[in-house]
Amino acid sequence: MSNLLDSNHIVHFFLDLYRRQIGLPEADPRLMSARALDPLNARETTYELKVRYNQRDSSRRMSLCRLGDDVDSKSVCYKVIYDDLLVLKIPPEPVIDFDQYLESIQLERRMADRLSPGVPCVGPSLAAIAKKIPELQDEAHPAGAMNETNIARHLRHTPSLQKYFKIGGSFVLFMSLSRHLFFDQVISRMHRQESRVKDAISGSLHTMGDILAFEGTFGRDRGDLFFSFADLQESYLRSMDQLLQQHGREIIEIPDHRKKQWMFDQLAEKEIIHERHPLPDTFINDQKRTAKIVFSQHKKTVTQFVNLIKSDIRKTSEHRNRNIASGIITNIVKLLMHLKEKNAAIRDLKPDNMFLVGQSDNPDIFLTSADQYALGLIDLETAINFRETEPPEQPILAGTPFYATPSHIFENRILEQVFRDAPRTLYLQDWFAAVGIIYNVVTGGTLFKKTGQLLPEVVRVRSRAISLGDPLQGVLKNVSWVFWRTACAEFNACMAADRSMFKCIPLALGSLEKGMLLEETAVCEGFLVDQIKICVLNQEIFKEDKTRRNLFEAGVEKIAAILKRWRMGKDVPDTTPEMRSEIVSFLGCLVHLKKCQLKIRQLRPILQEEGPPMTAQHLIFLLFRLVFFFMYRPQWSDREHPESF
């Protein structure tokens, strides 16, 4: 169904809703229209809905944004702003039975109830859209005063009203986020540098016209720019006055401060508003051409001014973003802790599925302190309570590229056979997603771009193995090498480039959050010790107990030195090429495991109360390695290990 249902269906659903709200009794294409106001905006499109009724045109706007990517087994979500913020979820297969529709609503609401009160959740509801439907707003059944049970009863009694909950013939899940701030809105606001620069340039009229205001904003050592910019303004005013005269207008008709504002708007590449002083199109075209000439004549001054604005915005943004990022990342750790306490894994954690619940209606107030808000979740379709049943209930095999691992698309029984701990695998899926989310919060970018592109191929490999009857355990192990090699390379490259940004973000984690991370670190260390034991005991080359004990206890440097000698064939016993290859493979596996153990051990002090202050850099490395060290085993492949420490 998601492939058949596109944004046009949704737009026309709301156009028809607007038609009913206006009072037009029947849908008439001649009296109804919808057009995209910014069709080139790939992320979020604003539409104008227009309805003509009783000889009167009425119009309003709505915006529509696709959330996430196509996943065959998963619903497709859209964000809609129509009066308030809604999320629409379209099932992968059409739902035409009302009872099935109600059950799908209840399924997510039950998971939301399990996560409450530690994790705020917004689940689908009938009321989210019912309150907007005029046919449900009669005196006997005001939707705003009806609970879910009453709305459902009313829809059963009057089945004809059920069509208002369908798009394209299928029931759609509606979620209302009217009281909350969407997570990706916060990220966009943090990193929309270009729009801030344009706004700052456009709003510089007073600053660039008063030496005291200029020095108060930019400092006293930039006086030369102030005076050269004054020359630019004079040149621009003379050119505009000449242009007005050429078009038969009086110079004094438009005040100088308004003409100067034209200049700042043009420097910011914004459209000039001529509503107060209407001017012909010929003047506007000449104005643009003349401004370009003036700006080119003062190119050095224009460049210095724009660079000064950019530098000032960057400094202000960096300081502000550090504080906001610190709070969000702290709350991400709290979210992971609450989910683990509830024995729950969301399995599709990403910015599109998250929102902020603040103690104020003004995000600029509550975003400054992590304690003033919490992170909430929507779209719990893939979530699972992994301790409720034994074995855990099988969730939907799905995940969003950039935030998912190969384990997302293999059944629990395969996870148990491969990892020997299906529950831990499930909640560490959320921890991997958290790594990508934290990177997005700090940089505004996507961390696992190349890695995410591998997931569709993993799905194809799995499907092919099923058709051939090949064991899926081997498939998961094989694809894991490719996945984690790419993920490690991408993670290390991105963190090397952005390390300074992460180092500057301190985190104020509480004792509970640190305790959880410390516990996971201890579990990981114990797991690696067990892996080292298995690696040493399972090999048949070095059989003496003393030798095996020495291999188990030896440090990384010693094993690495032995490995180097065997690779070079220097100062080692004569043996066959096959035996030498086997020894090199074993020692390589052992070195990798010991390096993993060392990396985890090095991060432990920051989690202790008396340890050094924890930063976003410490946390993202810790989370990534906790997941990677568990989800990839070096003994699965003789190939070079995914991460080169």
Mean pLDDT of 23-44: 86
Residue 571, by phi and psi: left (phi above 0), alpha (psi -120 to 50) or beta? left
Q: What pTM was estimated for this model as a whole?
A: 0.85
pLDDT, tens digit, for every residue of 545-569?
Answer: 999 999 999 999 999 999 999 999 8
Which tokens belong to 16? Answer: 């028809």
Q: Tokens at residue 378, please?
A: 């929507």
pLDDT given for residue 92 in this prediction: 87
Domain tally, the chain: 3
What integer pLDDT is reported at residue 180 of this predicted model?
A: 83
Kindly report each contact of residues 159-162 with a partner whose C-beta sits within 8 Å and lies 24 or more positions away, as own/partner.
Answer: 159/98, 161/133, 161/135, 161/136, 162/98
Q: Does 207 map to a domain?
A: yes
Write out the two tokens for 629: 């060290």
Give the count of beta carbons closer than 10 Å to the beta carbon of residue 512. 13
Look at residues 146, 179, 212 and tell me which one is the last residue of a structural domain: 179
State residue 70's pLDDT score: 59
Say how far apart CA 211 and CA 334 lie, in whole Å.
48
Amino acid at 620: I
pLDDT score, position 162: 96
316: part of which helix (H) or strand (E)? helix 299-341
Give the DSSP letter string of 604-619. Answer: GGGGSTTSPPPBHHHH
Name the 3-class secondary structure at 84: strand
Q: What is the mean pLDDT of residues 182-186?
A: 88
The verdict on residue 451 lying in a domain is: no
Tell me how far apart the alpha carbons of residues 236 and 241 are, in angstroms, rounded to a whole number: 9
- What percent of the chain shows pLDDT beyond 90? 72
Does 503 fall in a domain?
no
Q: Which two tokens stand for residue 376?
A: 């909430």
Q: Which pair of structure tokens corresponds to residue 352?
A: 């599109």
Confidence class for position 364, pLDDT limits 50, 70, 90: confident
Cα distance between residue 267 and residue 283, in whole Å:
18
In the chain the first and final C-alpha atoms are separated, in Å, by 46
Helix (H, G, I), strand (E, B) or coil at 41: coil
Residue 223 has pLDDT above 50, yes or no: yes
Full residue range of the structural domain in which residue 590 is found: 511-613
Q: Which amino acid is at 241?
A: D
| Whether 17 and 111 share a structural domain | yes
- Predicted pLDDT at 1: 40
Phi, psi of 570 (to 5 degrees): -110, 130
Phi, psi dihedral angles at 348 (to 5 degrees): -145, 45
Reported as a single tens digit per residue, the pLDDT across 232-289 is 999 999 999 999 999 888 888 889 999 999 999 999 998 877 656 677 888 888 999 9
Q: Mind listing the pLDDT tens digit for each residue in 299-354? A: 999 999 999 999 888 888 888 899 999 999 999 999 999 999 999 999 999 999 99
- SS3 of residue 528 by DSSP: helix
Buried b (16+ CB within 10 A) or exposed e, 23-58: ebeeeeeeebebeeeeeeeeeebbbebbbbeeeeeb
Helix-strand-coil percent breakdown of the chain, rounded to 5?
Answer: 60, 10, 30
How many angstroms from the chain centroid is the CA of residue 457?
Answer: 22
Cα dihedral sign, 16-21-22-23: positive
Three-state secondary structure call for residue 43: coil
Q: Do 225 and 304 meet the contact criterion of CB atoms below 8 Å apart?
A: yes
Residues 164 and 228 reside in one and the same domain: no
- Placement of tokens 């915005």 in the chain: 313
Cβ neighbors of 479 (< 8 A, separation 6 or more) are: 406, 454, 458, 461, 462
- Asked if residues 272 and 262 have their Cβ atoms less than 8 Å apart, the reply is yes
Average pLDDT over every residue of 193-211? 90
Of residues 57 and 252, which shows the higher confidence score? Answer: 57
- Sign, CA dihedral 354-443-480-588, equals negative
Query: CA–CA distance from 225 to each of 228, 306, 311, 360, 484 (Å)?
Result: 5, 11, 15, 42, 52
More confident residue, 152 or 387: 152
* CA 501 – CA 210 distance, rounded (Å): 35
In this structure, the answer to whether residues 136 and 265 fall within a common structural domain is no
* Model confidence pLDDT, tens digit, residues 64-97: 999 876 555 678 899 999 998 999 999 989 999 9
Q: Distance between CA 183 and CA 190 in Å, rounded? A: 11
Are residues 202 and 102 part of one domain?
no
Side-chain-side CA neighbours of residue 553 (13 Å): 6
Q: What is the pLDDT at residue 39?
A: 67
97 domain residue, yes or no:
yes
Contact present, 495 and 624 (Cβ < 8 Å): no
* Whether residue 54 is found in the same domain as residue 145: yes
- Provide the pLDDT for residue 446: 95
Domain stops at, among 316, 337, 372: 316
**Final residue before a domain boundary, out of 295, 316, 337:** 316
136 with 220, same domain: the answer is no
Two tokens, residue 480: 């894991």
Res. 40 pLDDT band, cuts 50 70 90: low
Lowest model confidence (mean pLDDT) among 59-68, 144-153, 274-283: 274-283
Same-domain status, 145 and 240: no
Torsions phi, psi for 111 (to 5 deg): -65, -40
Q: Are residues 144 and 94 in the same domain?
A: yes
pLDDT value for 319: 84
Q: Dihedral of CA 343/346/349/354: which sign?
A: negative
- CA distances (Å), origin 451, targets 342, 434, 457, 576: 30, 15, 11, 39
Q: Are residues 238 and 164 in the same domain?
A: no
Residue 288 placed within a domain = yes
- State how far Cα 330 lies from the chain centre: 16
Q: Is residue 99 part of a domain?
A: yes
One domain, residues 161 and 207: no
Q: Identify which of 249-258, 457-466, 598-607 has the greatest average pLDDT.
A: 457-466
Identify whether 636 is part of a domain: no
Do 264 and 298 sit in the same domain of this protein?
Answer: yes
In the predicted model, what is the mean pLDDT of the chain?
A: 90
Contact partners, residue 408, CB within 8 Å, separation at least 6: 347, 397, 398, 399, 429, 455
How many Å apart are CA 225 and CA 308, to the nearest integer?
10
Q: Is the domain of 17 the same as that of 153?
A: yes
- Whether the per-residue pLDDT at 29 is higher than 60: the answer is yes
Please tell me the distance from the alpha carbon of residue 492 to that of residue 499, in angstroms, as a whole number: 10
Q: Which of 296, 375, 365 is nearest to 329 (CA)?
A: 375
Asked whether residue 430 is assigned to any structural domain, the reply reads no
Structure-token pair, residue 116: 């409450």
